[in-house]
Structure 1
Amino acid sequence: MPKPFSLKIFVATGDPDGLRIVERSNWIGRAVVFPRPLLTTIKQREEFAQTGVYLLLGPRPDGDGEMVYIGEGDPVKPRLESHFSNKDFWTKAVFFVAGAGQLNKAHVQFLESQLIQRAKDAKRMRLENIKAENEPTLSESDRADMLVFLDHMLSMLPVLGVSAFELAHATEINQANTTVLRCTGKGLNALGYESNQGFVVKENSQASANITSSMREQMHGIVDLRQDLIDNEVLRRVGENYVFQQDYSFSSPSTAAAIILGRSANGRTEWKDETGRTLKALQTQQAGLP
């Protein structure tokens, strides 16, 4: 079970959307978060002269959703300066550093390779990296230290608004307060449940191989997401339908239902429990409303 932790956020420029330095309780690392336009005015800060691993985030070329680029630098400053000149897509950067001498080149190469692999596994956000980086060889103790560093990074990133590495946790479905719901139609059968990460559709759930013309014409974001899921093999064609190859977390039950049914869908009425009660009815009951 995840352990509680606290974060200290220093808004260095006085602007909540500007430069933020984020520290976690009882941890040597720190995160630096800033919008792209600020790079030229803040790059002289000491954090930019340190060895670290970074994420560049921005809108996809089709305008729907975000994409991410993962890199490392020893130090990070020249790498970010290069991307400022040569990569157009990114609008925000997040990088992690530690105290002097705490991270070296091999450490951040290891963190970079781990983050790239986890982003590929999660398939939550388009990855701008063209190729995977080879994982360097670390001593047993260094590897153990970097896995702890990685875990702290991964726990902080969702708080910082980065969901690229979040996997749907199968253990959640075993919790006492988790209700398994079903979405059906056109001979399809899908299982899902609400989680802190969104609405999770379970592995082996079915999805329609076809979409309606109105969905294709009016719901471009859903259509693009569906194609991404197919391209990334989250959805694989099995017989007449697609089948989820892993648990996958959607932003809402309606998005999940639309992907499954191939049409516009209200997830609060399409998802039902084993007695036929809709998600809307369950939420109303849980809220104590008449």
Structure 2
Amino acid sequence: MLKGRSIRLFLVDGTPSGIITAEIMNWTGHVMTAPRTRLPDFIKRSEIARTGVYFLTGVNPEEPTQTFVYVGESDNVAKRLVSHNKDETKEFWDKVCVVTSKDQNLTKAHARYLESRLISIVSAAGRASLVNSTSPEYGFLPEADLADMEFFIEQIRITLPVLGMDFLREKPRVDDSGVMQKSSSASTEFWENKSPVFIIKSPKYGLFAQAQQIGGDFIVLANSHARSSWESSAGGYRNLHEQLVREGRLVPDRDGLLKFKEDTTFNSPSAASATIFGRPDNGRITWRVKGTNKTYADWQNEQIVSDASIENSDDE
């Protein structure tokens, strides 16, 4: 059974678009994030001058649907950020997130280990593109320190999505039976698998695709088909369709169709169905529960528990 977690957020400027700190009870870590525009004030914070790891995030200027992430470490993060701000090869970033320790017990060796592991996690998660030119391997820590750093990483993976950064979230994996495969990672989000398998069929184009919703992700299953090109006018999800082709997640198959090479996560049923049909589409109506004529919208409405007290409140 899942247990609740409490994360304390503090809006330093009193606004959600400024500097924000995040802490978890009984964890020595301290997370702080800010837009790049606030960098002069951000680096003045005493926490930023400590040893720690950091993330620089932004969108690919040539592909707005793609997120770039750079992972780094330093024994004085503030100085390193000043250097990155002058680096013309890292112009992409518009947000920074720094993780340090409240008790200042993080050493240079700890930070190097965290950087190495976090780079691997971002790469494996596949939710963003790494900008790091190298992927250092570092495991030279005593056994007890390794255990502490793994716990530290788990807390980072819990905290960052709350701050709008999900590039450390492990993607759910679905087996052939439609059952979510659980991971040994303590930070992996486990949901009761209540979603049935949804399908899209199009005899006209020879399309057949399957998908399943797990948590907040709508996942098109591997070997599903999609049209080979975007058939509508520019805009909508055209960039997403083209991006998946460039990244090799949509590959040529048969009769001019493309095939999903792997389970692919979308943020909505409509994003998925539009990518499949090569044109804008209302996926809430197009996706049907496998073996029935029930739409995704019908299925979702059934999951909403009717509350008589809410319904009656309209009459008062």
Instruction: Give the TM-score, by structure 1 length.
Output: 0.88
Contact 1:58-1:91 at 8 Å conserved across structures: yes
Structure 2 gaps, min length 5: 181-191, 307-316
Q: State how far apart, in whole Å, the 2-side matches of 1:237 and 1:63 are.
A: 22
What per-residue deviation string (whole Å, max 9, x for no partner) do you get for residues 1-27 of structure 1? 654210111222223221111101221
Q: Which residue of 1 is the match for residue 279 of structure 2? A: 263
**Secondary structure of 2:93 counterpart:** coil
**How many residue pairs align between the two structures?**
285
Contact 1:50-1:100 at 8 Å conserved across structures: no
Q: Which residue of 1 is the match for residue 131 of structure 2? A: 128
- Go from structure 1 to structure 2 and tell me whether the alpha carbon gap of 1:238 and 1:122 turns closer, same or farther (over 3 Å shift): farther
What per-residue deviation string (whole Å, max 9, x for no partner) do you get for residues 61-111 of structure 1? 126233222111112111111112223222111111113442122222222
Displacement after TM superposition at 1:235 (Å): 3.1
Displacement after TM superposition at 1:189 (Å): 2.4
- Go from structure 1 to structure 2 and tell me whether the alpha carbon gap of 1:13 and 1:259 turns closer, same or farther (over 3 Å shift): same
Q: Which residue of 2 is the match for residue 254 of structure 1? A: 270
Equivalences for 1:111-190 in 2 at 5 Å?
Answer: 111-170=114-173, 173=179, 175-185=192-202, 186-190=205-209
What per-residue deviation string (whole Å, max 9, x for no partner) do you get for residues 158-186 of structure 1? 11101222233237945352221112222
1:9 and 2:16 are equivalent in the alignment:
no
The AA in structure 1 aligned to 2:296 is L
Larger Rg: 2
- Go from structure 1 to structure 2 and tell me whether the alpha carbon gap of 1:105 and 1:184 turns closer, same or farther (over 3 Å shift): farther
**Secondary structure of 1:207 counterpart:** strand
The AA in structure 1 aligned to 2:91 is D
The AA in structure 2 aligned to 1:49 is A
Q: State how far apart, in whole Å, the 1-side matches of 2:92 and 2:269 are.
A: 29
Contact 1:258-1:265 at 8 Å conserved across structures: yes
**Secondary structure of 1:14 counterpart:** coil
Displacement after TM superposition at 1:229 (Å): 2.7
**Secondary structure of 1:157 counterpart:** helix
Contact 1:106-1:138 at 8 Å conserved across structures: yes
Displacement after TM superposition at 1:251 (Å): 1.1
1:197 and 2:216 are equivalent in the alignment:
yes
Q: Which residue of 1 is the match for residue 39 of structure 2? A: 39
Q: Which residue of 1 is the match for residue 184 of structure 2? A: none
Q: State how far apart, in whole Å, the 2-side matches of 1:245 and 1:165 are.
A: 22
Q: Which residue of 1 is the match for residue 74 of structure 2? A: 73
Aligned pair partner of 1:229 in 240, 244, 248 = 244
Contact 1:168-1:197 at 8 Å conserved across structures: no
- Go from structure 1 to structure 2 and tell me whether the alpha carbon gap of 1:176 and 1:57 turns closer, same or farther (over 3 Å shift): closer
- Go from structure 1 to structure 2 and tell me whether the alpha carbon gap of 1:114 and 1:259 turns closer, same or farther (over 3 Å shift): farther
Contact 2:230-2:241 at 8 Å conserved across structures: no
Contact 1:211-1:263 at 8 Å conserved across structures: no
Contact 2:28-2:103 at 8 Å conserved across structures: no
Contact 1:173-1:193 at 8 Å conserved across structures: no
Contact 2:34-2:42 at 8 Å conserved across structures: no
What per-residue deviation string (whole Å, max 9, x for no partner) do you get for residues 99-139 of structure 1? 34421222222222222222222222232223323334333
The AA in structure 1 aligned to 2:163 is L
The AA in structure 1 aligned to 2:284 is R
Displacement after TM superposition at 1:29 (Å): 0.4
- Go from structure 1 to structure 2 and tell me whether the alpha carbon gap of 1:266 and 1:89 turns closer, same or farther (over 3 Å shift): same
Q: Matched residues, percent identical?
A: 34
Q: State how far apart, in whole Å, the 1-side matches of 2:279 and 2:14 are.
A: 45
- Go from structure 1 to structure 2 and tell me whether the alpha carbon gap of 1:138 and 1:243 turns closer, same or farther (over 3 Å shift): farther
Contact 2:241-2:278 at 8 Å conserved across structures: no
Q: State how far apart, in whole Å, the 2-side matches of 1:48 and 1:288 are.
A: 46
Displacement after TM superposition at 1:55 (Å): 0.9
The AA in structure 2 aligned to 1:169 is P
**Secondary structure of 1:148 counterpart:** helix
